[in-house]
A and B are shown apart, each in its own frame.
Chain A
Amino acid sequence: MSTEVRLPTLLRGSANGQAVVNADGDTVGEVLRSLAVTYPGLEGQILTADGSLHKFVNVYLDDDDVRYLEKLDTKVAPGSVLSILPAVAGG
Chain B
Amino acid sequence: MAIANSVLDLIGNTPMVDVSVLSPNQDVKIFIKLEGGNPGGSIKDRVALSLIEDAEENDVLKPGATLLEPSSGNTGIGLALVAKVKGYHLKVVLPGNVSPERRQLLLIYGAEIIESPGSEGSNGAVRLARKLAAEHPEWVFLYQYANPANPKAHILGTGPEIWRDCPEVTHFVAGLGTSGTLIGVGSYLKEQNPDIQVWAVEPPSGEMVDGLRNLDDGYIPPIFTEFGGEKLLDRKTVVGPRDSIEWSKKLAEIGIFAGISTGAALAGAIKCAKQIDHGVIVIISPDGGWKYLSTGAWTDDIDVVVERAKKTIYF
What is A's interface to B at a CB cutoff of 8 Å?
8-10, 45, 54-57, 60, 63-65, 67-68, 83, 85-91
Contacts and interface: CB of A to CB of B under 8 A. Distances in A.
Given A55-B220, A64-B236, A89 B210 contact: no
Given A55-B220, A68-B234, A86 B212 contact: yes
22 contacts: A10-B209, A60-B238, A64-B236, A65-B235, A65-B236, A68-B235, A86-B205, A86-B215, A86-B217, A88-B208, A88-B209, A88-B212, A88-B218, A89-B123, A89-B126, A89-B145, A90-B176, A90-B178, A90-B203, A91-B144, A91-B178, A91-B180
B115 interface: no
Contact of B215 (A45, A89, A91): A45
A89 B178 CA distance: 7
B210 A87 contact: no
Interface in B216-234: 216-221, 230, 233-234
Nearest to B76: A91
A24 to B, nearest CB: 24
Contacts of B75: 91
A91 B217 contact: no
Size bracket, chain B contacts = 35 or more
Given A10-B215, A63-B239, A88 B71 contact: no
Given A65-B236, A65-B237, A89-B145, 14 more contacts: A56-B217, A63-B237, A64-B236, A68-B233, A68-B235, A86-B205, A86-B217, A88-B122, A89-B126, A89-B219, A91-B71, A91-B72, A91-B144, A91-B178
A63 B238 contact: yes
A85 B178 CA distance: 18
Contacts of A68: 233-236
A54 B134 CA distance: 28
Contacts, number: 93
B297 to A, nearest CB: 18
A68 to B, nearest CB: 5
Interface in B177-214: 177-178, 180, 202-205, 208-210, 212-214
Interface string B258-290: 000000000000010000000000000000000
A61 to B, nearest CB: 10
Contact of B209 (A60, A85, A90): A85
B2 to A, nearest CB: 32
A67 B209 CA distance: 20
A85 to B, nearest CB: 5
A86 B210 CA distance: 10
A26 to B, nearest CB: 22
Contacts of A10: 209, 212-215
A63 B267 CA distance: 12
Nearest to B203: A90
B175 interface: yes
Given A9-B209, A56-B215, A87 B144 contact: no
Nearest to A8: B209
B183 to A, nearest CB: 12
